[in-house]
Amino acid sequence: MRLSLKELSIVAALGALWGSVEIGLGSLLHVWNVPFIGAILGTIGIAIALVGRVVVPRPGATVSIAVVAALLKALSVGGVVLSPMIAIVMEGLIADAVLSLGGRPRRGTFVVAGALAVVWNLIHPILIQGLIFGTGIITMYTSVIEKGAALFGLSASSVVLVFVGLAALYLAVGGGAGLLAWEAGRSVLARRAVGADGQGGAA
Amino acid sequence: MKSMPRRLSATLGGVDASVSCFAFSLVIGICCRDWWLLLALGLALTLAALVYPAGLRPLTRLRTWVLLTIIVLSSTLVGDDPLWSLGPLGISPSGALRGANMAMRAVIIIVAVTGLVSSVPIDRIGGFLERLGLRGLGFAVGVAFNLLPLIERSLVTSWQALRLRAGLRRPLTAVRLMLVVAVSDCLRCADEVTLAAEARAFSPDAVKRPPFTWRARTLPLVATLVATAGVLVWFAA
């Protein structure tokens, strides 16, 4: 992937936008102890990165925006930033893979890219904890779920049902972010085209 | 006598020493178990204190200890073959051992990662990613870092303008408008950066970053770490 100077500047600016949302809004949400922070920030971030893909329609543009945002996240005043950094890069990677495999940019591929990227936020904590604590954490979670379900008289399958419900919610929100990004990206391109025409006319 | 500690600190202060210690800590943290893991933890913490003391910072935070305590406690309470039980909970020695293993492994990894991130500058990470194929990323990170305050200010201004014009009455339209305005502002900044860079005949391809080199003085440290990791993994496996 070789981006031109102009494309690199756009990647940098949109990466800075995602990064500033992560640093500013992220810190605020952490202080307020808002639930599902990862999903909220991930949805906003992936919407920005997908708009970036409309403006720079090149494979690798989305993941580059994500990498810039992740590196800026390292400057965050919060304590543990490694896990969010990995989550940001993974979201960008998933969205980029879907868009690159999907061929010509279309509304549908943007919806799928957004949905799959946001649903990563549901899987991410489990995988990261598995990496840090080892397979023991999975055994412990399974045991906690089985005993907790037995205590409340529920079957283990109802826990799976809750997980599936959450996954559906994340997919819907992510799909919405993809659709929003597609529409917003086209608006941005239209505004830029009008701006360029105006400049051309003046010259 | 005086030059020895200075030479030692110069050896331990480089990026190559940090990367070696990070890799060593990761290998022994993942491969060792039980008493061997305790030994690995001691080694990893000693190395961190010598090579990247900033890596020990998470251990001064209450949050880290709360997390580790929850891990050990919950593993003890829900583990197999409890010695004593009350309802679904009990005191399980095997669960406690598993919890202690998880906690020690977590401390090794958290200290190693924090130490590496704090001792390797952000531009070196950018340069490393460029070499992995993300060309121009070093330039992009530099530009993004400088644009950060400008974009934050622009975001706040757009948000206030939207709020004052009653744009928040229709939330979905407000979100879309906010995204369009924020991205358009960013693109304007990007255009200005491009113009300034082109005026100075700058090309991201022309930037040559210094290659990552292993210093000769780090080699004894690397050899010692590889040998120690080999012995630990051999006995712990």
**Listed residue (A71, A89, A84) closest to A26, CA to CA:** A84
How many residues can be counted in chain A?
Answer: 203
Contact between B75 and B102 (Cβ < 8 Å) = yes
Contact check, Cβ <8 Å, B179/A137: no
Buried b or exposed e, range B159-198, using 16+ CB within 10 angstroms: beebeeeebeeeeeebbbbbbbbbbbbbbebbbebbeebe
Q: In chain A, how many H helices and how many E strands?
A: 8, 0
What is the residue-level pLDDT of chain B in tens, covering all 237 positions? Answer: 445 566 666 666 677 888 889 889 988 988 888 888 899 999 999 999 988 888 898 888 888 898 889 888 888 887 777 777 777 777 888 888 888 888 898 899 889 888 887 787 666 666 666 776 667 777 888 888 888 888 888 888 888 888 888 777 888 888 888 999 999 999 998 999 888 888 888 777 766 666 666 777 788 888 899 999 998 888 876
Contact check, Cβ <8 Å, B183/A150: no
Domain range summary for chain B, segments of one domain joined by +: 3-121+213-236, 137-206
State the pLDDT at residue B208: 63
**Rounded-to-integer distance, Cα B75 and Cα A133, Å:** 12
Contact between A108 and B82 (Cβ < 8 Å) = no
Contact between A65 and A14 (Cβ < 8 Å) = yes
Alpha-carbon B19 to chain mean position? 12
pLDDT above 90 coverage of chain A, percent: 44
Contact check, Cβ <8 Å, A5/B197: yes
Contact between B148 and B91 (Cβ < 8 Å) = no
**Rounded-to-integer distance, Cα A88 and Cα B172, Å:** 24
Q: Is A199 exposed, middle or buried (0-12, 13-18, 19+ CB in 10 A)?
A: exposed
For A143, the token pair is 């045991």
**Rounded-to-integer distance, Cα B63 and Cα A22, Å:** 21
CB pairs under 8 A between A and B: 184
Tens digit of each residue's pLDDT (9 = 90 or more) over A65-122: 999 999 888 766 555 567 888 899 999 999 999 999 988 888 999 999 999 999 998 8
Q: Which residues contact B143 (CB under 8 A, 6 or more apart)?
A: A8, A9, A12, A13, A16, B193
Q: Out of B30, B125, B140, whose CB is closest to A12?
A: B140
How many residues can be counted in chain B?
Answer: 237
B81 touches chain A (CB under 8 A): no
Structure ipTM over 0.85, yes or no: no
Contact between A43 and A118 (Cβ < 8 Å) = yes
**Rounded-to-integer distance, Cα B38 and Cα B44, Å:** 10
* Residue A201 reports pLDDT greater than 80: no
Tens digit of each residue's pLDDT (9 = 90 or more) over A24-50: 888 788 767 788 888 899 999 999 999
Chain A residues close to B30, C-beta within 8 Å? 134
State the pLDDT at residue B12: 66
Distances from the Cα of A160 to the Cα of A39, A46, A116, A155, B75, angstroms: 19, 27, 19, 9, 21
Q: Residue with structure tokens 């975001």?
A: B155
Q: What is the pTM for the complete model shown?
A: 0.74
